[in-house]
Amino acid sequence: MRDFTSMKTRTRLRPLVFAGALLSLAFAAFGADAPEATPKPPKKVPVITIGGQVGTERTYFDEMYQFLFFATLEGLYRDGVSSADVESLLATKGKDGGYLNFIYTCPICMPVEAAVETYKLRPRIDHLKVGNRQTAERTFGFGLPKETSEAFHSEKASVRLGAVNELVSRWLAYRMDHSSLTDEQRKALIEKLKKGREEGMKALRNFAGNANGPDSLKTFAPGYVDGDECAICNAALQMPLKLKER
């Protein structure tokens, strides 16, 4: 059986639809703009926290963040870091523990860690059909020296983090030397890196003092239980790392 109620409703609506179409044609014919719909309110920019401070993406994804991110990503590709070494760089304390080589919330560590995570998801290099290492590892270079890879697995934090410090220092120095920064821009970037290091050191001290709950250091920076300096922060300023021997 037909739904006559629906048919009547559609019949009543047809003149309205036809009138709307005529109105649109009239606006188009005389070059007038059709009435704009009520604008939607802008979406709220998500808030993120780095170094214990609150801000937006625009605040934190600035020149310093991008410098650290792209310098690391470029270094990974240029050196041809293997997938096995990437896993070592991103190693954690157990399944759900914190990173061994990074300090959580540190504004210097986080962009570097993000770049390593991005490199980990790198696509295949499809246009190369030869069976060489670069194709197999989906990268450009020939890999890190054996002693560097072995240092990543050392039981001594001073050895492991020392290797990370030297590696990241070289990547950041290369980017700084091959950038088109003016002297003023370079000076401003270095000042930001200094402030970022101070925030990273503050975060490390807070974790060591259990400011974020019991065993904060083991949760958020387990690789630094024997030290008070950040390998990545020091690398940003071309500073060697000094840690207590275990």
Instruction: Kindly indicate the confidence band of residue 132, based on its pLDDT and cuts at 50, 70 and 90.
Output: confident
Res 59: pLDDT:
64
Q: From the DSSP assignment, how many helices (H) and strands (E) are in the chain? A: 11, 2
Burial of 203 (0-12, 13-18, 19+ CB in 10 A): buried
Q: Using one digit for the tens of pLDDT, what is the confidence trace for 138-165? A: 999 999 999 999 999 998 989 999 999 9
Closest CA to 195 of 10, 9, 53, 81: 53
Res 127: pLDDT:
77
Question: What does the domain layout of the chain look like in residue ranges?
Answer: 48-236
Res 11: pLDDT:
42
Percentage helix, strand, coil, to 5, in the chain?
55, 5, 40
Closest CA to 220 of 232, 228, 231, 212: 212
**Beta strand extents in 24-64 (DSSP E only):** 47-50, 53-56
